[in-house]
Amino acid sequence: MSWARLLADLIVVFHAAFVGFVVFGLVLILVGVALRWGWIRNVWFRVTHLAAIGFVVAEALVGMVCPLTDWENQLRRAAGQASYPGDFIGYWAHRVIFYRAEPWVFTLIYILFGLAVLAAFILAPPRWPGKTWSQMRNEPSQAELRA
């Protein structure tokens, strides 16, 4: 197996992990809010999650091809392959994350999903370092209630 083909397959796996982080991240946030899981309010997780979908939405709005897809296709051509076949993992990762539809359909899906992530960020905000939960919700703290 050539180095270009191996790198292309690794990019597909990373791409699938990125998509999984964005999609399942929102699912975990919503479930975590309902079940009061504290870790889903981690500011680094939430900001990274919001930035990830924000990048995808920005790409779609400007009509940019995902750099991971572009890089993978270049590596496949360098390996003498057609775009997208790959080994077992690469093949199935592509089957899971790439669908055929008009570009506007994907743009709409990305925008709606991005709005859902933004709504979750606003309605169930992360805990910022140095702030208590009551300060996050604009509730008086215990010290303020005693005063």
Give me the pLDDT at residue 86, please: 46
Distance (Å) of CA 78 to CA 8, 67, 95, 120, 140: 10, 16, 22, 42, 61
Which residues are CB-contacts of 128 (< 8 A; sequence separation ≥ 6)? Answer: 43, 136
Write out the DSSP string of 41-55. GBHHHHHHHHHHHHH
* Mean pLDDT split into 10-residue runs, the chain, 147 residues: 88 91 96 94 96 95 90 89 57 68 86 97 89 56 56
Report pTM: 0.76
Indicate the number of domains in the chain: 1
Q: Which domain holds residue 114?
A: 3-146
Tokens 């939405």 belong to: 57
